[in-house]
Structures are given as C-alpha cells and as structure tokens.
C-alpha cells in the first residue's frame, strides 16, 4: 500500500524541531514502511516553520543589521536606560532640587514670564539643598526613605522609551550613514558617522522622553504638585497643554548623546588597540563587557563635562565659573556611573542574544552592486 505524503511527514515531528544545518550521516538512509521503501527527505527540502530548536542544534545567531538585530538593540536600550536612570533617582532628585534652589535665590525678585516656573521656584525653601549631603538629609527627614524615589515611574517609563530609540536608531543610522559614505570614507570618517548617527537618534529619543521628563521634574521639585505620574501628567497637561513638553524638548536636545556614543566608540577602539594585546573577537565575553563598562564610564565623564553648562542654564547669575562648575563633581559621578552601567547592560544583553559587543570598528558598508 502506498504511503501518503501526510503519513511520511508524520514519521518525523518536524513541527517541533528543525533539521540541523549540517548533513546527517543518515541522510541517505531509507526506511521500510508497510513494505514500501521511503527515501529520507534531503536537507534541501522545504521545511515547515521552526517552533523550537532541537537540543543538538547550536544556538541560532541573529544576522547583523537585520530587523531582528535592530529589535534586539532596541530591547537592550530599554533595559540599559530605563533601569539605570530609575536606580539613580535619588541622585537626580537632589541635583534637580539644588539647581531649583539656586534659581530661587537668584530669580525670586525678577519678573518671570513663565508663571508656572515662578510658581515652581517660589515654593522652594532657599535654606534647603545647599549641598549633596544636606540634600539627602532633608529628603530623609521630611519624606522618609520613600522620598528618595519620588518620580521613579515617569523616570522608568520615559528613559525606557528614550533608551529604546537612542540605541536602536543609533545602530540603524550608523549603518545607514556608513552605507552612504562607502567603505573608504566610512573608515576614514568613522567619528563623523558616530556623531551623525547619535545626533539623529537623539532627536527621536528625546521626543519619546520629553513628556515624562516634564512631569518628573515637576513632581521632584514642586512640593505638593503631585504624588507621581498618574496624577502629575493630567495636572501638567491641564496647566500647560501638550505643547508645554516642547519646552523640555529644547532643553533635552544637547550634545551629550553625541559625546556619549562617539567617545565610547573611540575609547573602546583605543583600549583594544593599545591596552589589550588581542583582537576584540578573540577576547572572552567577560573581558569585552569589562571594556564596555570602562569605555562607557570614560565616555560618561566627557558627556558630563560637555552637557553640564546646558544643565545649569536655568540657574541665573551664577557666573561663568559657576555655569561650568556648580554641581559638576556630582554630575560626573552620576553620569559616569550611569553611562558605564548603560553600556555594560546594553552589551551584556547583546551577548545574551548572540550579538557581538559594541565598539572597535565602524560597521562594514553594504557592497555596491555593479
């Protein structure tokens, strides 16, 4: 009796496992079913969709610059930025209140066009938040341990969205601009490609962040405004409208992300070139992740120095030295640790899904068709 095609397929549960990519030593073997000789299907035969990997198969790798690659980078960005920013909420809370306190001291007698901003600074006691240590003491005394994480929900959601766009679109634009430049110019002007890719990604990332950042700052620096995101966002929209977030977008757009990505790529390349006597792809994963953290921390120091003046622009009459130096040590510690942790988490996620760590060389441009 002839064996139908469906019966043949039932001999191997192919809906569960995919055949290994390498040829099996039994590929030429035949089976006898009901007196009929049935040839084993060849490796080149069409296979159904894979639902699970056979235990003997090697781990499946994600193809570089494929949609799955960019999806993995986006997910890694969510983990790296959202978690790290939420963790340093206490430091960010003290920093924001130190700056707002200085605004109170220097602006309380001036005519301020933005009534909401005046309302914000006029409720801050100028005797508070004189230093980092006193700031933590004030928070602990007045609000208890819970006060250290006020505004953590908009921080987590906002910076998760920012991280998704920042890292995902950075990888996309870095490859896109390398393809436009071509192999020769991509290698020669790779730093410009890093800067252009990070700048393009930053615009999209900050649009995703600005509404959550606006609520976060108001919750953290205006006592009694709101308990968190659930009641803070409706109040903010009612007071300033959705267009009010644009003001925060203008503040967020600065050169710190460009410095963060370009300096990281350069520092990592220099570490592998001068400090480690082995190519990046020959180093252990633990060593590569250590380089990612070190490169991220150094990049964070540069990032803090570059972005600090813009962070202090709201503080009036502090002088040129104050513009560059007020709160800088805390910002270096905060941004350095933050950036190092972000790159470490991001690359750890990439390694976990089978991708190489970031840095060391510009992406290889796509081959030009003849």
> Half-sphere exposure of 320 toward its Cβ, with a 13 Å CA cutoff?
0
284-307 pLDDT, tens digit per residue, is 999 999 999 999 999 999 988 887
| Range in 240-244, 277-281, 323-327 the model is least confident about | 323-327
Q: What pLDDT is recorded for position 139?
A: 77
76-123 pLDDT, tens digit per residue, is 999 999 999 898 888 777 777 776 655 544 443 333 333 343 334 434
What secondary structure letter does DSSP report for 149?
G
- For 218-257, the DSSP string reads HHHHSTTS-SSHHHHHHHHHHHH-TTHHHHHHHHH-SSHH
**Model-wide pTM > 0.75:** no
Average pLDDT over residues 58-64: 71
Average pLDDT over residues 242-264: 76
Res. 40: pLDDT tops 70 = no
Tell which residue, 294, 327, 286, 298, has the closest CA to residue 310.
327
Q: What pLDDT is recorded for position 318?
A: 60
Residue 345: phi, psi to the nearest 5? Answer: -65, -45
Res. 62: pLDDT tops 50 = yes
Q: What pLDDT is recorded for position 94?
A: 79
Copy the structure tokens of residue 193. Answer: 């490609």
139-190 pLDDT, tens digit per residue, is 788 778 877 888 889 999 999 999 999 999 999 999 999 999 999 999 999 9
Calpha distance 244→302 (Å, rounded): 30
Looking at the DSSP bridge assignments, the partners of residue 30 are 39
Calpha distance 359→44 (Å, rounded): 37
Average pLDDT over residues 197-202: 94
Q: 319: pLDDT confidence band, cut at 50, 70 and 90?
A: low
Q: What pLDDT is recorded for position 307?
A: 75
Spatial contact of 337 and 303, defined as CB atoms under 8 Å apart: no
Looking at the DSSP bridge assignments, the partners of residue 108 are none
Q: 14: pLDDT confidence band, cut at 50, 70 and 90?
A: very low
Q: What pLDDT is recorded for position 149?
A: 83
- Which has the higher per-residue pLDDT, 50 or 91? 91
> Half-sphere exposure of 126 toward its Cβ, with a 13 Å CA cutoff?
8
Copy the structure tokens of residue 53. Answer: 């990997």
CA dihedral for 57, 59, 62, 64, sign (positive or negative)? negative
Task: Kindly give the pairing relationship between strand 36-39 and strand 30-33.
Answer: antiparallel
């Amino acid at each position: 009796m002839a064996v139908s095609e469906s019966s043949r397929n039932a001999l191997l549960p192919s809906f569960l496992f995919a055949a290994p990519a390498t040829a099996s030593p039994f590929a030429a073997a035949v089976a006898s079913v009901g007196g009929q000789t049935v040839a084993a299907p060849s490796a080149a035969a069409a296979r159904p969709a894979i639902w699970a990997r056979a235990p003997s198969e090697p781990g499946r790798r994600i193809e570089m610059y494929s949609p799955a690659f960019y999806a993995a980078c986006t997910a890694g960005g969510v983990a790296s930025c959202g978690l790290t920013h939420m963790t340093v909420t206490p430091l960010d809370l003290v920093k924001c209140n130190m700056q707002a306190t200085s605004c109170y001291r220097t602006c309380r007698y001036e005519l301020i066009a933005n009534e909401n901003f005046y309302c914000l600074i006029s409720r801050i006691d100028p005797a508070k938040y004189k230093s980092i240590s006193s700031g933590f003491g004030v928070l602990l005394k007045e609000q208890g341990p819970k006060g250290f994480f006020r505004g953590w929900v908009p921080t987590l959601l906002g910076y998760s969205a920012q991280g998704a766009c920042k890292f995902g679109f950075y990888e996309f634009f870095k490859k896109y601009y390398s393809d436009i430049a071509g192999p020769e110019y991509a290698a020669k002007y790779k730093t410009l490609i890093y800067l252009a890719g990070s700048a393009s990604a930053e615009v999209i990332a900050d649009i995703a962040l600005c509404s959550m950042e606006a609520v976060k700052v108001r919750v953290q620096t205006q006592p009694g405004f709101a308990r968190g995101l659930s009641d803070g966002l409706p109040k903010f929209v009612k007071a300033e409208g959705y267009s009010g977030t644009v003001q925060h977008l203008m503040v967020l757009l600065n050169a710190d992300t460009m410095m963060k990505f370009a300096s990281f790529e350069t520092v990592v390349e220099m570490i592998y070139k001068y400090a480690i006597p082995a190519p990046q792809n020959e180093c252990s994963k633990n060593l590569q992740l250590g380089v990612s953290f070190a490169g991220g921390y150094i990049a964070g120091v540069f990032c803090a120095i570059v972005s600090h003046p813009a962070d202090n622009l709201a503080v009036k009459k502090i002088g040129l030295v104050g513009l560059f130096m007020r709160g800088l040590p805390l910002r270096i510690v905060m941004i350095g640790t933050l950036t190092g942790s972000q790159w470490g988490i991001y690359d750890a996620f990439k390694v976990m899904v089978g991708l190489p760590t970031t840095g060391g060389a510009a992406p290889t441009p796509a081959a030009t068709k003849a």
